[in-house]
Every structure is written in C-alpha cells, then in structure tokens.
Structure 1
Amino acid sequence: MSTLIAIAVDGAIHGAWLFLVAVGLTLVFGVMKILNIAHGNLYAIGAYAAATALGYWFASHPPSAAALAIQVGAALAAGLVLGLLLEVAVLRHLHGRDEVSVALATYALLLILDDVMLMIWGTDPQSAAAPYLLLGASRIAGMRFNNYEFLVMGLAILVGLLIWWVLTRTGTGRRLTAVIHDREMAAAMGINVRAVHVATFVAGACLAALGGAFTAPMIPVAPGIGAEIIVVTFAVVVIGGMGSIPGAAVGALVVGLARAAAVHLYPPAEVFIVYAVMAGVLCFRPNGLFPQAAVRRI
C-alpha cells in the first residue's frame, strides 16, 4: 500500500510539473500550427532567470515568501520579452510555410538560444534552492514529501483552470477558438488573427518560462536542460493529442504515473517507459487521446 501511495503522489507531482511545461507547447501548436522545438529553451531561460533573480535577492535578504513572487516575475519577464522577440522577428515570417520548414526554423532557434545562454550564464550550474527549502516537508503514509512539490502541483492546477476559464468563459477565448478551427473565416468575421497569434505565442513562452522558474529550485540549472525537457514534453503532447489542453493534462498525468511506477517498481525501466507509453497509445490512437477536431471543408 505504501508503494502505491508513493507512486500516486510522485506521479501526480511529476505530471503537474510536465503539464506546466507542455501546456504552452500544445497551446501554440493548437492555435498557430507551429511545433516550437525551441520551447525547451524558453523553459531553460525561465529557470536561469529565476535562479539569477533569486541569487541576487537572497544574497542580501533572509529566505521569505518573496521568493515565489520573484520566480513568477522573472518567468513572466523572460517569457514576455523572448516571446515577443521570437514571434515578431522569426515566426511571423513562417505562417503558411510547410511543417518541415517551421520545425527546422524553430530547431535553429533552439541552437541559437543554447549559445545565448552559454554567453550569459556560462557552463557552471546555477543554484536556486532557497524556495525548495523554505516550505519544509510533510509526511504521507510515513513517507516524506517536500511541500514545495505540492506548491508546483497547485500551480499546475491553477494554470489549467485559468486556461479553461479563458477559453470557455471569455470573449478572448471564443475568438481564440474561432482562429483554431478556421483562421480564414475568423479573419473574414473581423477577428485580428495576427494579434491572436502574437498573444498566443507570448502566452506559450510565459508558460514555458514559468515551468522553468518553478523547476529551478528542484534541480541544478545547467546547460542542456532545455533539450532534455523538450523530448519528454513532446511525448506528453503526442500522447494527449497535438493542440489539446485536456490532452496535455491527461498525457502529463499518464507519463508522470508511468515514470513513478517504473522508479518504484523497476528502476531500469525509467529510461524508456515514457516512449513505451507513447508508442502504446499511438498504436491504438494515432492522433493521441484527445485529437483536435479537423475542419471539414465542402
């Protein structure tokens, strides 16, 4: 029983963290039909920005709840600046291009951002452990869990509910849905599709940076973390269905539970369990668990 509880809690925590990163990727693909391979580096820059800001703050201040505000502020600032810069400078010129050209362009952005991070932060790992230690720990069924991990879970739930509310309860969400299903008709009805694309990409960049900022206290922030996360995030999005927000949530939970089960029951399987789950899902659901509805033109 204790093993099952550990798998459930660890899987939910890991799934929540994956959802924070994956939801921005699937949102951008759903609206803009762009698979942003550089999404992982937006996550990494969010982590670096948060680690740097926390390092400056705690160099002269005692640990406090201000750390959470610093993380959010650093993530939003990094996501806003980079999202606007990349969309206006690069991605706006790729609309209407074939998927291979877009994928190659975003892969080039990944390589460029890798070098930018090396120029700014170098190769030494950055540490931002203060928020992780600040909240203490709790025991569940005799097992110790850090409360910061539950904070990340709560943040993922909050982000998911906020996106659901925007998409289903606001005029912005209705315009976004119209662009998702038929951008030509949406433009004919007076919706500014260009503004929707810019806002969507900036939102996706901010979500990626937010995931990185709240991951920074849990890991050493070092070169390569962007490439590591994009592979797993891509698996989550493919399992859930490209462009589906509910799919991203379910896919993240499935991957989180599968990984936790492997870690607790058979650790060598952790290396390939994510890809085994993805392959198994795609065998029966080639478009993922919650594929986007295709527009039927007549």
Structure 2
Amino acid sequence: MLQMIIPLIVDGLANAALIFFAAVGLTLIFSVLKILNVAHGSLFAIGAYVAASANLWLASTSLNSWLSFPLLLLSAVFVAAALGPLIERSLVRWTYGKGEAVQILITFGAFLILEDLQRLVFGVQSLYADTPMALLGISEIGGIVYLNYQLLLILLAGFVVVGLRLLIRHSRYGRMMLAVVADREISQAMGVDTNRVYMLAFSIGVFLAALGGALATPTYGVAPGLGAETMVLAFAVAAIGGLGQIEGTAIAAIIVGLARVLAIYYAPALDAVAPYLVMLIVLLIRPYGLFGTSTTRRI
C-alpha cells in the first residue's frame, strides 16, 4: 500500500510545483495591481522557450553542462527584466482603475502579441532540453525510483513560498506593497511611489511565471499553445485557493497536482479535466475559493 501512495504523492507534488510557479505570479499581480493578467500564460511559455534555447546552445558548446542550472534562472531573470517593466508601463498601467472588461481585453491583446512574438522569434517547432534532469539522475527511496529533478522542483516551490512571505512581510518593498493593497490613495499621500510598486510587483509576477516555464522545460519541453494551456490552469489554481492568497495558491496547486496524478493513475481519460472539476466543486461550495473572502484581498 505504501509503495503505491509514496510515488503518487511525489508525482503530485512535483506536478503541483510547476503549476504553483505560474499561479502564484498570477495571484501576486492580482493582489497588488487588482487586475487579472490574461497574458500571464504567454510569459510562462516565453520563459520556457528562452531556457530551452539557452540550454540547447549550451549543449552545442564545450562548456560545462552544469551551467544549464544557472541558465534556467538567468532565463527567467532575462524575461522578467525585458518584458515586465515594458508590459506594465506600456499596456497594463493604462488599465488601473478601469472596469474588469477593459482590463481583460487589454491583457488579452498583450497575450495575442506575445503569442505572435513567440512564433516570430522561436518558430513553431517544439523544443526539448533535458540536460538538467539528466545531470541530477535518479534516487531510490524505499525501493521506488524517483527523478532527482522532481525532488528539486518540490524544494524550489517550498523555497518560493517562504521567500515570498519573507519579502512581503520583512522587506521595505514588501511593506510598501501591503500599504498599496490596503489603500492606494493614503499610500500616495504618505510618499509611496505606487507606480514603482506596481511595476515591481508585476515584474516579480513575470519572473515567477518565466521561472515556472524554464523549470518545466527539462521535463515537458515547450511547444506552441503552452501559454494558453498554462493560463487556464493557473487561473483554476488561483481561483481554488482564492485570488490574492499566496499560501492558498500553494495548497490549491497541491490539490490540483494530486488530482491530476490520481486521474493519470486511475482514470486517464479525466487527466485534462481533473483540475477544472476540482475548481467547479470548490467554487460551488465556496465561490471565493478555499481561502478567499468577498471583502478583502491579501498577499
């Protein structure tokens, strides 16, 4: 019995880790900027394309293969630095204070632009670079073989949860984010540069999405359509946890990850719909998510 449960849990947590990176960036942006960024999935896909291209380039050189790991991180940093401030300043900033329909339409326009940009830069071919996963090898625990890369993903997701909480609660920029979330006008009156806070929060969200895409490359690769698929899944996870709830997003990602693995193990036909069935059940019982409320948004 234990030999059946352990691999299910490990696979579920590894699956949840990748979902979490995309969903937590989405919920962070929603918490601070109060917009639902429909283009978020495309940023996940661009991070995956940049990381895959960088690692394929590394494989064609005589450089040390272990450099593939910092390349994953640097790819996410590059995407966040290049696109985060640009998108926030040129498109997203004009949606502040506008209706939800306007915000969704503008970010959907950004999604279409980014999807075309992917095809223009990277083409329509699938990319797969598994060097990091191959380098880490496998481990045997209790007679069961696991990919060490999967275990690394679980640890990284846990590190991000703790890191975000420390950033928000114990850093100057984090306290400014909390102030802006509580009341933007009072924050401005106290001298907080809200535009800078918004740009920072959006760029962190972009970084988390791009990091999720980069980390997914060694296991799944990247192909056209990844952005749309990721956006829908990230929204489902964020809705289950409660929009604006970082810890809620983490728990929701675990629930969805386990649901997908259970479907793969016992009902493969339900694999694609399992996350949305979970979302439907949760929202029927709690319309604002497991940890959300109708009156407050927290980060």
Worse overlay, 165-174 or 44-53:
165-174
Q: Which residue does 1:69 correspond to in 2?
A: 70
Over the aligned positions, Cα root-mean-square deviation in angstroms equals 1.5
Q: Give the Cα separation in 2 of the matches to 1:211 and 1:220.
A: 12
Matching residue of 1:149: 150
Who is 1:230 aligned against?
A: 231
The residue type equivalent to 2:115 in the other structure is D
Aligned AA (1:267): P
1:67 Cα shift? Answer: 0.9
Cα distance in 1 for partners of 2:274, 2:203 equals 32
Tell me the CA shift for residue 220 of structure 1.
Answer: 2.7
Q: 2:191 aligns to what SS in structure 1?
A: coil
Show CA shifts across 1:42-96 (max 9, x none): 0000001111111111211365321110110111011111111101111111111
CA contact (8 A) 2:288 2:294 kept: no
Match of 1:205 in 2: 206
What residue is the counterpart of 1:273 in the other structure? Answer: 274
Distance 1:172 1:85 in 2: 20
Instruction: Tell me the CA shift for residue 172 of structure 1.
Output: 1.9
Judged with a 3 Å threshold, the aligned counterparts in structure 2 of structure 1 residues 204 and 98 are, in CA distance, closer, same or farther, namely: same
Give the SS at the match of 1:128: coil
SS in 1 for 2:287: coil
Aligned partner of 1:106 in structure 2 is 107
CA distance in 2: counterparts of 1:4 and 1:259, whole angstroms: 14
Within 2, Cα distance between the matches of 1:20 and 1:295? 23
Rounded Cα–Cα distance in structure 2 between residues aligned with 1:293 and 1:80: 34
> Offset of 1:294 from its aligned partner?
2.7
Q: For structure 2, which runs of at least 5 residues remain unmatched after alignment?
A: none
Structure 1 stretches lacking a partner, 5+ long = none
Residue 54 (structure 1) aligns with: 55
1:1-298 matches, cutoff 5 A: 1=1, 2-61=3-62, 64-291=65-292, 294=295
Letter in 1 for 2:292: P
Going from structure 1 to structure 2, the CA distance change for 1:141 and 1:5 (only over 3 Å counts) comes to same
Scaled by the length of structure 1, the TM-score of the pair is 0.95
Native 8 Å contact 2:58 2:65 kept in 1: no
Q: Contact 1:49 / 1:74 at 8 angstroms: preserved in 2?
A: yes
Query: Aligned partners of 1:144, 1:280: CA distance in 2, in Å?
Result: 34
Cα contact 1:5–1:141 (8 A) shared by 2: no
Residues 142-175 of structure 1: per-residue CA shift (max 9 Å, x gap)? 3322111111111111111110101112222221
What displacement does 1:198 show? Answer: 0.5
The normalised TM-score by structure 2 is: 0.95
